Amino acid sequence: MFKKVLIANRGEIAVRVIRTLREMGISSVAVYSEADRSSLHVRLADEAVCIGPAMARESYLDIPAVISAAKLTGSDAIHPGYGFLSENADFSAACRDNGITFIGPSPKSIQQLGHKAEARKMAMKAGVPVTPGTKDCVGKNFKTEAEKIGFPLMIKAAAGGGGKGIRIVREMAQLEHEITMARAEAKAGFGNDEVYFERYIELPRHIEVQFARDTKGHTLAFPERDCSIQRRHQKLVEETPSPAVGKKLREKLEEAAVKLANAANYVGVGTVEFLLDQQGNFYFMEVNTRLQVEHPVTEYITGFDLVREQLLAAAGDSLSYTASHSVPYRGHAIEHRVNAEDFTRNFAPSVGRVEEWTLPGGPGVRVDTHVYAGYSLPIYYDSMLAKLIVWDQTRELAVAKSARALKEFTVKGIKTTIDAHQMIVEDERFRAGKTDTGFMERLLNPAEPAKVA
């Protein structure tokens, strides 16, 4: 096992990784930008190295700076967290070439599965259902390709993730402008402006399957997560298991995830994302070759520490459970992403100093965060402040626990999305498990028709 691990990230995920490292007796190294000197992950790590100015491209996205920090501190492995360099094949290769273990898949696996268009090809070859779309990234004949697929269609960044570089197009007149916009966003976010087309499925559920695979070829598939409650393709609430998925469908979803992981000879933890239509058909969407933001709900119902599983796989050890491909679970878990945003002003960012920070507690309540009273939010990064995760024996009890915990969560000095989450858990459609990717739009615009899955 590793002696010292550098975390190439910031915020709550860096804090999350440090805690597992400490439990496993592994020294931790934090990296930080000049804007993050007072961040909690810097305080908690055994060592900390400043790697550059506030802008991410000059710090957290600077591969030579991160590698230099690892060498300077004698780190034998790097954990990338999520976002930033976590799905960057060049970074994985740079770690390998410098004798440092990348705690994630190989450069080849990232290229195969992290590149969305290539992952579609692999899914089709493995017999996993996919939505109609372009076989390769779109070129000069994009209008012809769009006509073959039909409208509405979705433009997606080939190297993207996290909801960035996505545009929905309902008619040909919009196509050229939206491609230009999608390419610009993809270039800015991922350094790659390639895009591809998929047929847009109206009002689907967003379902994903967490998997883990070790160097010995054993693959685990965890119960599905339902991530349908989103705004602008960014997830707000995730839960597991999905109220729309039964035993037989769950087995099919898990089988598809295992097929893809094995086809890519994947080592580490990843997630296969699917769309589930209103008729119960599922379609492959993409693979995230990293730890997901919403991984705690899976940990709650299964008892696994997914960061620990990442470390075991990267070190060449067996996963902690090898009895079968399917992982047993118990109860129901829900995660609420609390962001520094004013949802009454179209989720406009909120910045400033956190004057009060009182977290909820009690049985079955977990909060993952890097924030504390007196912390000043940097303006340069993602707006997420914390993840509130609850567990109980049934979905009904878990929803009630969410409502109670959200009322206890007190933040002063900045605007947050806590009130928006309270609206969600009080909504009858959510309580009945009748949600889809259009849920938030209808919740915030009640005059619109109340379509549900």
Q: What is the mean pLDDT of the chain?
A: 94
% of the chain beyond a pLDDT of 70:
98
Q: Is the peptide bond before 446 cis (omega within 30 degrees of 0)?
A: no
pLDDT for residue 129 is more than 90: yes
231 pLDDT above the threshold of 60: yes
Looking at the predicted structure, is the pLDDT value of residue 449 above 70?
no
Residue 165, pLDDT > 70, answer yes
Query: Is the omega angle on the peptide bond into residue 241 within 30 degrees of 0, that is, cis?
Result: yes
SS3 of the chain: CCCEEEECCCHHHHHHHHHHHHHCCCEEEEEEEHHHCCCHHHHHCCEEEEEECCCHHHCCCCHHHHHHHHHHHCCCEEECCCCCCCCCHHHHHHHHHCCCEECCCCHHHHHHHHCHHHHHHHHHHCCCCECCECCCCCCCCHHHHHHHHCCCEEEEECCCCCCCCCEEECCHHHHHHHHHHHHHHHHHHHCCCCEEEEECCCCCEEEEEEEEECCCCCEEECCCEEEEEEECCEEEEEEECCCCCCHHHHHHHHHHHHHHHHHCCCCEEEEEEEEECCCCCEEEEEEECCCCCCHHHHHHHHCCCHHHHHHHHHCCCCCCCCCCCECCCCCEEEEEEEECEEHHHCCEECCCECCEEECCCCCCEEEEECCCCCCECCCCCCCEEEEEEEEECCHHHHHHHHHHHHHHCEEECCCCCHHHHHHHHHCHHHHCCCCCCCHHHHHHCCCCCCCCC
To the nearest whole percent, how much of the chain has pLDDT over 90? 82
Residue 342: Cβ-neighbour burial (10 angstroms; 0-12, 13-18, 19+):
middle
- The residue-averaged pLDDT of 333-358 equals 95
pLDDT surpasses 90 at 296: yes
Q: With beta carbons less than 8 A apart as the criterion, state whether 156 and 176 touch.
A: no
Query: Is the pLDDT at 453 greater than 60, yes or no?
Result: no
| CB 131, CB 275: distance < 8 Å | yes
- Which of 136-150, 303-317, 342-356 has maximum average pLDDT? 303-317
Which pLDDT belongs to residue 132? 80
Tell me, what's the pLDDT at 430? 98
What's the confidence (pLDDT) of residue 312? Answer: 98
Catalytic annotation, residues: 290
pLDDT at 273 over 70: yes
Is residue 161 pLDDT above 70, yes or no?
Answer: no
- Predicted confidence at residue 131, as pLDDT, reads 85
pLDDT digits (tens, 9 = 90+) for 85-120: 999 999 999 999 999 999 999 999 999 897 777 888
Place of tokens 């938030």: 440
Which residue in 145, 147, 164, 144 sits closest to 156, CA to CA? Answer: 164
Domains within the chain, CATH numbers bracketed? 4-103 (3.40.50.20), 132-199 (3.30.1490.20), 205-444 (3.30.470.20)
Cα atoms in the Cβ-side hemisphere of radius 13 Å centred on 318: 5
pLDDT of 452 reads: 44
Paired residues of 221 in beta bridges: 211, 326
60-92 pLDDT per residue, tens? 999 999 999 999 999 999 999 999 999 999 999
> pLDDT band for position 450 (50/70/90)?
very low
| Global confidence as pTM | 0.90
Distance CA 61, CA 88 (A): 10
Segment 271-300 shows an average pLDDT of 95
